[in-house]
Amino acid sequence: MATQSPFSFLEGFLQNLNLPLTPPVWMVQEAHRRVVLLLNHVLMQEPAATERLARQKGQVVLVCWRNFTFKVAVTPAGLLDLADGAAVAHLTLTLTQDSPFEVAQSLMQGDKPAIRIEGDVQLAAEINWLVDHLRWDLEEDLARMVGDAPAHTLVQTARAMAQALAQFVGKTPKPGATA
């Protein structure tokens, strides 16, 4: 007997609701700033990453998912900055999965979400290298704030929860699949 995800009801409900779930402009801008800060924090942990990105200075990357867009420019230091809204994107990355649950499911299973890539091939290769080689050491950052032992415990607990969720998600059939 095929089991169904408990989130499928919620996903169907949200899709049929048709509410304009558009956050205010100031909130979107602040979220973009926070994402850029996090990405730069991760980039600064790996000198090879900033060296590779520095070769792409001035290039603009546009990331799209549903009606959300995010545009960043590569700085001469090999970091990222929010790009001007009128800036022309050299590379466009579009997440093709519409469902946030499908995106989360593929990420929990360790897969990359389905992405359509258009634009500069060299910049796309550099971004792909970053995705494959950069990892955020959350435990190290937490240890600076709360100490080594509590940080280790928090991260181990989060990993166990993520693994249990990934196992649960892995057991649920994909939408449209027959058992």
Rounded CA-CA distance 57/64 in Å is 21
Report the SS3 class of residue 175.
coil
Whole-angstrom CA distances from 136 to 43, 84, 86, 119, 139 are 9, 27, 31, 27, 9
Q: What is the pTM of this model?
A: 0.68
**pLDDT at residue 89, as a whole number:** 94
- pLDDT tens for residues 147-158? 888 877 887 887
How many whole angstroms separate alpha carbon 102 and alpha carbon 113? 8
Break the chain into its structural domains and give their ranges.
8-135, 137-179
- Give the model's pLDDT for residue 179: 47
pLDDT tens digits for range 111-149: 777 888 999 999 999 988 888 888 777 677 777 788 888
3 or 153: which leads in pLDDT: 153
The CATH number for 8-135, chosen from 3.30.1050, 3.30.460, 1.10.3470, 2.40.50, is 3.30.1050
